[in-house]
Amino acid sequence: MAFTDASLIALRVFREVAERGTLTAAAAALGYTQSAVSRQIAALERAAGAVLLERRHDGVRLTAAGRLVLRRAAIVVDQVDLGARELAGLPEEDESTLRLGWFATAGAWLVPHALASLGRTHPSITVVTREGSTPALVRALRAARWTSH
Amino acid sequence: MAFTDASLIALRVFREVAERGTLTAAAAALGYTQSAVSRQIAALERAAGAVLLERRHDGVRLTAAGRLVLRRAAIVVDQVDLGARELAGLPEEDESTLRLGWFATAGAWLVPHALASLGRTHPSITVVTREGSTPALVRALRAARWTSH
DNA sequence: TGTACTTACGGCCATCGTAATAATC
DNA sequence: GATTATTACGATGGCCGTAAGTACA
Which of A25-34, A41-50, A79-88, B97-106 shows the lowest mean pLDDT across its residues? B97-106
DSSP per residue, A14-30: HHHHHHHSSHHHHHHHH
Task: Give B81 CA → D19 C1' in Å.
Answer: 38
The whole-number average pLDDT for the span A74-87 is: 94
Q: Do A76 and B80 touch (CB under 8 A)?
A: yes
Q: How far is CA A116 from CA A20, A113, B4, B62, B112, in A?
A: 26, 5, 25, 31, 11
Hey, which residues 76-135 in chain A have their CB within 8 Å of chain B?
76, 79-88, 108-109, 112-117
> What own/partner pairs with CB < 8 Å and gap ≥ 24 does B85-92 have?
B85/A2, B86/A68, B86/A72, B86/B148, B87/A2, B87/A3, B87/A48, B87/A49, B87/A50, B87/A65, B87/A68, B87/A69, B88/A1, B88/A2, B91/B148, B92/B126, B92/B147, B92/B148
CA dihedral A22, A23, A29, A32 (to 10 degrees): -170
Q: Is the pLDDT of residue A97 over 50?
A: yes
CA distance B58 to chain A (A): 27
Q: Is the pLDDT of residue B46 over 50?
A: yes
Eight-class DSSP state of B130: P
- Grouping H, G, I as helix, E, B as strand and the rest as coil, residue B52 is coil
Q: Is the pLDDT of residue A104 over 90?
A: no
Q: Do B2 and A85 touch (CB under 8 A)?
A: yes
Contact status, residue A112 vs residue A102, Cβ threshold 8 Å: no
Rounded CA-CA distance B41/A32 in Å is 28
A chain contacts of residue B85, beta-carbon cutoff 8 Å: 2
pLDDT in tens, B116-142: 555 544 555 555 554 444 444 454 555
Comma-separated ranges of CATH 1.10.10.10 domains in chain A: 3-88
The proportion of chain A whose per-residue pLDDT surpasses 90, expressed as a percent, equals: 54
Q: Do A112 and B112 touch (CB under 8 A)?
A: yes
Q: How high is the pLDDT of residue A148?
A: 39
Q: How high is the pLDDT of residue B104?
A: 45
pTM over 0.85: no
Q: Is the pLDDT of residue A147 over 50?
A: no
The whole-number average pLDDT for the span B53-58 is: 95
Please name the residue whose C-alpha is nearest to the C1' of nucleotide C22. B57
Q: How high is the pLDDT of residue A14?
A: 98
The proportion of chain B whose per-residue pLDDT surpasses 90, expressed as a percent, equals: 53
Contact status, residue B123 vs residue B75, Cβ threshold 8 Å: yes
> Could you name the CATH architecture of B3-88?
Orthogonal Bundle (1.10)
Contact status, residue B121 vs residue B145, Cβ threshold 8 Å: no
Q: What residues contact B52, with CB distance under 8 A and at least 6 apart?
A: B14, B41, B44, B45, B62, B63, B65, B66, B69
Q: Do B143 and A116 touch (CB under 8 A)?
A: yes
CA distance A135 to chain B (A): 11
Of B9, B81, B144, the CB nearest to A144: B144
The whole-number average pLDDT for the span A53-68 is: 96
Please name the residue whose C-alpha is nearest to the C1' of nucleotide C19. B35
Name the amino acid, one letter, at B68.
Answer: L
> Is nucleic acid strand D under 7 Å from A14's C-beta?
no
> Could you name the CATH architecture of A96-142?
3-Layer(aba) Sandwich (3.40)
Q: How high is the pLDDT of residue A144?
A: 54
Please name the residue whose C-alpha is nearest to the C1' of nucleotide D25. A57
Q: What does residue B90 show for φ and ψ, rounded to 5 degrees?
A: -85, 140
Rounded CA-CA distance A83/B71 in Å is 9
Residue of B nearest to A47 (CA): B84
Q: How high is the pLDDT of residue B115?
A: 57
Confidence of residue B93 (pLDDT cuts 50, 70, 90): very low
Q: How high is the pLDDT of residue A3?
A: 76
**Helix ranges (DSSP H) in B4-131:** 8-20, 23-30, 34-48, 64-87, 104-107, 110-121
Residue with more model confidence, B146 or A78: A78
Within 13 Å and on the Cβ side, how many CA atoms surround A67? Answer: 4
Which of B99, B109, B65 lies closest to A134, judged by CA? B109
Comma-separated ranges of CATH 3.40.190.10 domains in chain A: 96-142
Which of A7-11, A81-85, B84-88, B104-108 shows the lowest mean pLDDT across its residues? B104-108
pLDDT in tens, A117-142: 555 555 555 555 544 444 444 545 55
**Helix B110-121 and helix B135-144, axial crossing angle in degrees, nearest 10:** 20
Task: Give A22 CA → D18 C1' in Å.
Answer: 21
> Is nucleic acid strand D under 7 Å from A148's C-beta?
no
Q: Which bases of chain D are contacted by protein, using any atom under 7 A from a CB?
A: 3-8, 14-20, 23-25
CA distance B38 to chain A (A): 19
Name the amino acid, one letter, at A20.
Answer: R
Q: How high is the pLDDT of residue B91?
A: 42
A chain contacts of residue B72, beta-carbon cutoff 8 Å: 79-80, 82-83, 86
Q: How high is the pLDDT of residue A107?
A: 43
Confidence of residue B19 (pLDDT cuts 50, 70, 90): very high
Q: What is the CA radius of gyration of chain A?
A: 19
Confidence of residue B99 (pLDDT cuts 50, 70, 90): very low
